[in-house]
Every structure is written in structure tokens, then in C-alpha cells.
Structure 1
Amino acid sequence: MESDTIPVTGVEDLEKHLDELLADPNLLPTPKLFDDVELQLTDANILPLVPRLLPKITEILKQYQQDPAILCSLAIKLLGPLSFTQILTLASEEALIQALRSPAPSANLLAMAVLDKAAKSPSDAAILAMMNNVVTNFLTQWLSAPQVEVGEKGSKVLGDLLDVDCDTRPPDGLSVNGMEIVVRKPSGQGLVWRRIFHDRDIYDLILSLCSSGQLGAQQQSLAQGRLLRVLPRLAALNFRAVTWTDFSDLNRRYANTDSNGGLLHFAALYMIDKEDKLVHLNLIDFFEAFLSIQRITPFSTYKMDTLTKLLRDATAQDDILKASILTLPERTVPEEAEDLSRFIQEILNSQ
């Protein structure tokens, strides 16, 4: 292609500037040098520049004292054509963890952009599942970051990773209200699922960040909202994984219940303070999304029994939630309203 022969101007000046930043972590970056190069980058000309620029940016970020947004923006652009395993040859696990732990949201987003690459194939997701410290720090920052954009990016990356890694996915995919929830593609290996749902320390981490008060009231509410928003999608992929746990002692510690109900039960029944109107609205939104999706997931007696008990327990002392569930069909698209109404009545009438 002709574009291959068009050189990117300003690369030498940017390289020199990167060396200066490497030598002096207190030096302020010169935005124009970064912008001039970044605006010229295309799929055709990025690859030769990756080994020239990305390792230097990675090294600068390890020691940088200023806002790294401009560095991270260029790094994300350079990562575009690379696979997860290619990136791991340029940035270590330690560098990823450092970026995830950074107080700068741009660094968090850069690290999550790398992890998003692992969601492109089951084999890459399996490699990430073995990187225990990376997964732990990712989940911590997803729930702990005050910035909305970090929470949203983390939710998407987590959902995509568990999607590509899922070994029980519905074979034909799933769509609700015209929106694709589960894409039709080959099954994964289930290693990310096992890391999150069967690793005691990670399961403990999620429950503690969402309920123990260690994040402070406002951030805990954000964490709870993030967990509630991702669970309907995860329940569509692997209902059993999110509704059952072997760690009943952790349920006892964080939810004061002896049940073996999984992360979904914890979030739906025990996690939130219903006196907090904003978080209660999040719970109502969760149930509406959850039931709309469960209507079209494959039938099983386990699923229907679990939904019956879950709704009975959730609505027993919550008239607002019950009214919202009963009127949900009125707020869905007409062609799906009748089936959804029948589905909800079947669950409620089993109680």
C-alpha cells in the first residue's frame, strides 16, 4: 500500500523527548510532540514504531511523577494492532500491576486496554487467568476507582473476558430487545471463571470491597453498582457459576447467611442498604435486566427453582421491587412483553 511508504514525521524528535523524560521523571511532557505523531498513526504505519516507542513509554510510566495521560494515549494507539501475547513481550506483569494501581485514571485505562486484548481469544484469556496478581489488581481497581470511565471500562473488560472464556455458553448466542448479550462463538476454557469464582482470595476480595465499608460509603455504592450491572450478562453465560459458591463461610462473614448462594445472591439479597435510595434503584435496574435476559436463556429446573427462591426472598420485604418486577413487561418492547409477563408470572406463581 502507498501509505506504507509515507514516513511518520516527528518520530525522531519524540524519541529524543522520551529519552529526556526517562532521564528526568519530573520533566513536563511537550504535548505537541506526542500529538503530531499520534495524529499520523494508522494501521499501516504503527507496527514499525512500536519497538521504537512503546518500551520507552513503559519505562517512563514506571517512574513518572506527572499526569501520564498524554503518554497513555499514545501507548493505547500503539497497542492497536498488537495481540495480548505480543504486548507481554514489551510490558511485564509488574508494569501492568503498577499501571492498575496508579492513582491516574489514564494509567488504569491503559492497563485495562491491555487486558481487553486477552478477551480477543480463549487462549489469551487462559494466559491471563494464570496471572493471579494481575487479575487481583484489575478487580480491585475496577471496584475501587472513583472515576466513572475506569469503572465502565473495567466492567466491559471483565464481561468480555468471561464471555470469551466461557465453557458453557448458549450455542446460538442471545439477544434481548434487539441487543446481542451473548455472541455466537466457540466455547472457551473456563479458566478465568475458575480464577474469579473458585479462587477463595479473589472471591473474598469482591465480597469485602462491596460490603465491608473499607472503601467508604460513596465508593462502596459505586462498587456495588458496578457489580450489579455486570451480573445479568454473567448469569446469561454461566448461571450456575454466579448462583452457587463453595465458600459458604465467606457468605456468613459478609452477608450473615449460611447459604451456598453465589455472587448473584450476595448482590441481589444481602449487599445493599435498601434505605439508600440510589443503590436501591441500582438493585431494581439489576432485577429488570436480569429477568429480561433470563427469559431467553435455556430452560432448566435448576434455573427456575433458583429464580423462584431468589425472587421470593428479594421481594418479601421490598414492595417497590415487587411492583417494578410486575410492571416490567409494560416497559419492554411490545413483541417481547407478553412472553416476559408469562415468564415472571410463572416464577411468582411457583412461590
Structure 2
Amino acid sequence: MSRVAVKMDTDTTPVTGVEELDKHLDELLEDPSLPPNPKLFDDVELQLTEANTPPLIPRLLPKITDILKKYEQDPAHLCSLAIKLLGPVNFTQVLSLASEDAIIQALRSTAPSANILAMTVLEKAANSPADAAILAMMNNVITNFLTQWLSAPQVEVGEKGGKVLGDLLDVDSDSRPPDGLSVNGTEIVVKKPIGQGLMWRRIFHDHDIYDVILSLCSQHGPLDIQQRSLAQGRLLRVLPRLSALNFRTLTSTDFTDLNARYANINSNAGLLHFAALHMIDKEDLLMHLNLIDFFEALLSIQRITPFSAQKIDTLKQLVREATEQDNVLKAAIRSLPERTVPEEAEDLGRFVEQVLDLQ
């Protein structure tokens, strides 16, 4: 296992218990069936700071990585300590400590702590466009990440995956609003330089990866009803943010064959149309509420993105089709301005009238 150097001012105060923990890690390497000693992990983790962590990274992290490859017990304590150790390490440094195969194995694990650890590693690629571009080249990692984000039953894995995906596409966006975006005081798009767009191309222009998203969220996909609903909800929550970054990419696709397979439509409509019009069963009251939340978030965000005739025409068509036989959704959209902050209500009201064709 290669070592990584992390340059940072270090604390000279020794971390107690490291010798005992190091020995315990050797025991777990020797016998993966041994249970972990929670006290040894907790004692060391609670002492870690930005200053005293770097010297421990090359000593402890490679062993933890090797243990996780074959560990038979609950890895929660191992993963928690690994996440703390990873704090000062950047994405490319992590790749010298953990291979793509190790990341994929953690993503595929049935243990949510391992999933969170792997997603924390991927999250580091959101710190710069260059790191996001490196990750975009890791096709199998992206495939397994999206699969676990949508198919993991644990809420915390879904939430972590949605945040990581949004952050990666944010830093990688090559068409971001130049001044950032805030809705109701919440920052949606950060003001930063544009990215390279490689992550966007990997997810939205790679047939196999796009297939993963549609299949896991489709009524005709492999997931059972409960997990499919979770996957659909996760996709609905992330799309409004992504629409602020690159609306055009979300509203068209090259893969009409996948639209025909999963949405039973013969068009190049994009992921936004799939999610809004063809994905959920509106007889499912909870999913219908999720759809209403999605439209409210989408319109609130699109109201403050740069104007384009294509955007307005697309939103009109989307809302018209979605509300054609859904008076509850139409009423929710009409009343949206009444439920927003007063200083934004008037502009939002005009925007809602525009997309509902009430002007």
C-alpha cells in the first residue's frame, strides 16, 4: 500500500491509545472475523484534530482500507475513524491510499457506514473541477455510486448520495449562473469558476449510466415498490438544483431508446420530463406529494435563473402536461407565491402565471 504525505502544521501533543489501536488493527487484519474494540477506536477518534491527524494517516488509514476489503463484522467504527482521518486528505491523495476497486467494494457493501465512507471519498472530488474530471473517468465507480444512491434502503445513504451528486455536478458545471443563486435565503448554486463538464457528460451522455438512473426509478425497473419509491424521491429532490446548473442538459437526451423502454414515449425528452411526467404512480399519495414538492422547488429555482425562451417554453409544456388531469398539482403551483417569503412572492407570482399561461 502506498503512502501519502499531507502537508499541514502538526500538533506535537501525542494522541494516546494509538499503539493499542495499531495493534488491534493488526489483529483484525489477521482475523477479519474478530469483533472490533469500540473503546480503542473511540478513544483515538475523539482526540483527532486538524493539527494532529496528518501523522496518523499513513500509519492507520492503509490498514483500515485493507481490513475493510475482507471484514466480516459491522465496520461502523472502522469507517467512522477512516472518515475522520480523511479530513485533511484531498481526492488524488485518497486514490493513492484506496484503489477504485476498494471504493467500489465499499459502495456495494450492505453496511451503510461503508457506503457513507465511499461517498465521502467521492465528495472530495467536488473540491475542484480538476478532481471532478478525474472522477468522471472512473466509469465503474460512477455506476456503482449512482446505483447505491438510488437503491440503498437507508435514508442516510440516500441523503449523502444526493448531496455528493449535486456537489460534483455543481463544481463540474460548464454553464453555471455567474453570480450563483439563492432561493428564500438558501444558496442553491455557489459563485465559482465554471467546470469542465466531464461529469455531466459521463452521467447524461453515457448510455449505460443513463440507463442505470432510468431503470432504477422506472415503474418497469428491478426495484420493489418500496425501494423504487425511495429512488424516485431521491431523484426528484436533486433535479431542481441540477436544473439551475444546466437546464438544457436535463431537458433533452440522445437516448430515445431508453425513453421508449422506461417511459413508453418516442421522443428525446430529458430526465426532467421523465421524472415529472412518466416516473411516478400518482395514485401513490406520498409520491404525489413528492411530485408537488418537486414542481414547487423547480419553479422557485427557475424563476431566478437567466431568462431564455427555450426555458419558458419547456416549463410551460412540462406544467401543462403535468397538470392536465391533476387539479391538486395545479392548485399547489397557483398558490406557491402565497407560501414563499414576501420579498419574492410578487416576482414568483408573475413567473407562475407565465408558466401556467394565465397572462
Name the CA distance, whole Å, in 1 between partners of 2:185 and 2:69: 44
What is the TM-score when the length of structure 1 is the normalising length? Answer: 0.99
Runs of 4+ in 1 over 6 A off after TM superposition: none
Alignment of 1:63-142 (within 5 A): 63-142=70-149
Mapped contact 2:143–2:209 kept (Cα < 8 A): yes
296, 302, 307: which one aligns with 1:299: 307
User: Could you list the per-position Cα deviations for residues 152-203 of structure 1 after superposition, in whole angstroms to 9, with x for gaps in the alignment?
Assistant: 0000000000000000000011111111110000000000000000000011
Mapped contact 1:308–1:350 kept (Cα < 8 A): no
User: Could you list the per-position Cα deviations for residues 253-291 of structure 1 after superposition, in whole angstroms to 9, with x for gaps in the alignment?
Assistant: 100111211000000000000000000100000000000
| Secondary structure of the corresponding residue to residue 212 of structure 2 | helix
Aligned to 1:164: 171
Name the CA distance, whole Å, in 1 between partners of 2:55 and 2:356: 61
Aligned to 1:20: 27
Mapped contact 2:10–2:53 kept (Cα < 8 A): no
Mapped contact 2:9–2:51 kept (Cα < 8 A): no
| Secondary structure of the corresponding residue to residue 11 of structure 2 | helix
Question: What is the CA distance between 1:310 and its match in structure 2?
Answer: 0.6
Is residue 344 of structure 2 the alignment partner of residue 333 of structure 1?
A: no
Name the CA distance, whole Å, in 2 between partners of 1:9 and 1:44: 15
More helix as a share of residues:
1
199, 216, 226: which one aligns with 1:218: 226
Aligned to 1:179: 186
Aligned to 1:29: 36
Question: What is the CA distance between 1:350 and its match in structure 2?
Answer: 7.0
Indicate the percent of aligned positions where both proteins have the same amino acid.
78
User: Could you list the per-position Cα deviations for residues 187-233 of structure 1 after superposition, in whole angstroms to 9, with x for gaps in the alignment?
Assistant: 00000000000000011110000012411000000000000000000
Change (3 A) 1:2 1:22: closer
Aligned to 1:189: 196
Mapped contact 1:232–1:289 kept (Cα < 8 A): yes
Aligned to 1:237: 245
Name the CA distance, whole Å, in 2 between partners of 1:275 and 1:350: 28
Is residue 276 of structure 2 the alignment partner of residue 268 of structure 1?
A: yes
Name the CA distance, whole Å, in 2 between partners of 1:317 and 1:3: 63
User: Could you list the per-position Cα deviations for residues 110-129 of structure 1 after superposition, in whole angstroms to 9, with x for gaps in the alignment?
Assistant: 00000000000000000000
Change (3 A) 1:198 1:3: closer
Mapped contact 1:55–1:90 kept (Cα < 8 A): yes
Name the CA distance, whole Å, in 2 between partners of 1:159 and 1:28: 36
Aligned to 2:161: 154
| Secondary structure of the corresponding residue to residue 97 of structure 2 | coil
Name the CA distance, whole Å, in 1 between partners of 2:128 and 2:87: 15
Change (3 A) 1:148 1:2: closer
Question: What is the CA distance between 1:2 and its match in structure 2?
Answer: 9.9
Name the CA distance, whole Å, in 2 between partners of 1:310 and 1:213: 23
Aligned to 2:350: 342
Aligned to 2:4: none
Mapped contact 1:248–1:260 kept (Cα < 8 A): yes
Name the CA distance, whole Å, in 2 between partners of 1:74 and 1:21: 15
